Amino acid sequence: MDIVTNICDDPHDKDAFYIVGATYGNIGGHLVEDIVSPPEGSMYPFIRKIQSSSLTTEWTVQLGAYIDNSTATIAEALGCAANERGSVYVIGQVEGGAGMIERSKRQQSEGGRDIWIARIDTMTSERVWIQQVGTKGDDHVARSGLVVVDSDGNAVVYGNTNGNLYRERDISTSHDLFVIHFDEDDGYFEPTISGDVPGMTVHIVEVPEDEEAVDEVIIVPDDQEFLPEEEDVWEEAEAEAETEAEAEAEAEAEAEAEAEAEAEAEAEAEEEAWYEAQEEEEEEGSWYEGEEEEEEEGELVVHADDEYPPFDELPMDEDDFYNDADDDTESPFQDIPEEETIEEPATEDQDTVEGSSEAVPEDLKADKLANQRMIYGLVAALWRSYSPCT
């Protein structure tokens, strides 16, 4: 069943007029839906643009209301008014606490019957915005002259309510009159004392941010499957989302590559600076080139020309030779053959043991000489390991 409730002309297009009403189905065409649709058996409001000269339909916009997945809703369009700037306002009522559908959301209702208004672009049939206003009671638009356009192209709506729309009162059988001004750009209206504010909606379903919802339910001519601007809208949205995701991934990869390149460049710069510093130190001369370092008295003298110190500079005394006699460390001079000793009769000038007039035994002399050679070898080995020139 289809119902026509009102008609209005178009000052912007003298060859067009609009009819509004309600239907329980679709009006002779295919439905391009919002993300959610009213349950089966619901009444849909609609507005249709018709060419006066040919009485052909230019476009039809069909809206809907929602409570839950199982409750049929009743919403109807009762009036319209167009301005000279390419906008047409369609206004109506919605029953039983339902909310007018807007993409994946619905307008919030305080309960009872509410009024609603939507702005439609007269050229593209795009729904620019939709607003719903009401109280806990019942709110109605006027039976005649319910919506007009002011000098600035904004909508002015007349009606009555038995609730507290803009005056504190209890819900009763008596009604107050009201006038509400809606801004053309965004549908702004003065918030009501019952809590209605512009754009107050609740989500019906969650929609990913990269998916766009179709703005309205549109009836298209029988010979055209989709309107040009709505054809394959989901495929286009998905393709755009994939393109954006690929672009973001490429940008992240480029940023990571740049960061790695910068880190490598810094590491190379630090390494190059370190080598330059080493070269400068070598050019200026380091502690072991052309210098001699004298340690404290009694310690080893380091010679820069890589020559081993003379034996008489070794920090050793006679006690050291005897104390190290059992050291098994191999000496670099261990292969030097021992001098043959010729036994001679002891004389008064021969070595004697300290504190005694007895001559030093020959085996003790041999041990002492072996110890001296061994110590000398150890010092020589120490010198090689200590000197940075070796």
User: In the predicted model, what is the mean pLDDT of residues 208-231?
Assistant: 44
State which of 4-18, 36-50, 211-225, 356-370 shows the largest mean pLDDT: 4-18
pLDDT at site 16: 95
pLDDT at site 7: 95
Helix (H) or strand (E) holding 384: helix 362-386
**Same-domain check for residues 37 and 184:** yes
User: In the predicted model, what is the mean pLDDT of residues 245-271?
Assistant: 90
**Same-domain check for residues 75 and 180:** yes
State what percent of residues in the chain have pLDDT above 90: 33
Q: Are 133 and 158 in contact (CB under 8 A)?
A: no
Q: Is residue 307 scored above 60 in pLDDT?
A: no
Residue 236 in any domain: the answer is: no
User: In the predicted model, what is the mean pLDDT of residues 24-50?
Assistant: 77
**Same-domain check for residues 140 and 99:** yes
Q: What is the tens place of the pLDDT at every residue in 65-105?
A: 988 888 999 999 999 999 999 999 999 999 999 999 887 78
Residue 6 in any domain: the answer is: yes
**Same-domain check for residues 15 and 90:** yes
Among 231, 250, 273, the domain-final residue is: 231
Residue 173 in any domain: the answer is: yes
Q: Is residue 379 scored above 90 in pLDDT?
A: no
Q: Is residue 231 scored above 50 in pLDDT?
A: no
Distance CA 187, CA 129 (A): 7
**Same-domain check for residues 123 and 262:** no
pLDDT at site 335: 53
Distance CA 87, CA 72 (A): 30
Q: Report the mean per-residue pLDDT for the chain.
A: 76
Sequence-ordered list of residues with C-beta below 8 angstroms from that of 210, at least 6 positions apart, any chain = 237, 240, 241, 244, 245
* Residue-range definition of the domain harbouring residue 328: 293-386
Q: What is the tens place of the pLDDT at every residue in 142-168?
A: 988 899 999 999 999 999 999 888 888
Q: What is the tens place of the pLDDT at every residue in 324-351?
A: 445 554 545 455 555 555 555 554 444 5
pLDDT at site 103: 79
Sequence-ordered list of residues with C-beta below 8 angstroms from that of 100, at least 6 positions apart, any chain = 63, 64, 65, 75, 94, 106, 107, 116, 118, 130, 132
Sequence-ordered list of residues with C-beta below 8 angstroms from that of 199, at least 6 positions apart, any chain = 131, 187
pLDDT at site 352: 52
**Same-domain check for residues 174 and 50:** yes
Q: What backbone phi and psi angles, to 5 degrees, belong to 277?
A: -65, -40
Q: Is residue 211 scored above 60 in pLDDT?
A: no
Q: Pick from 93, 43, 100, 45: which is nearest to 72 by CA?
A: 43
Q: How many domains, the chain?
A: 3
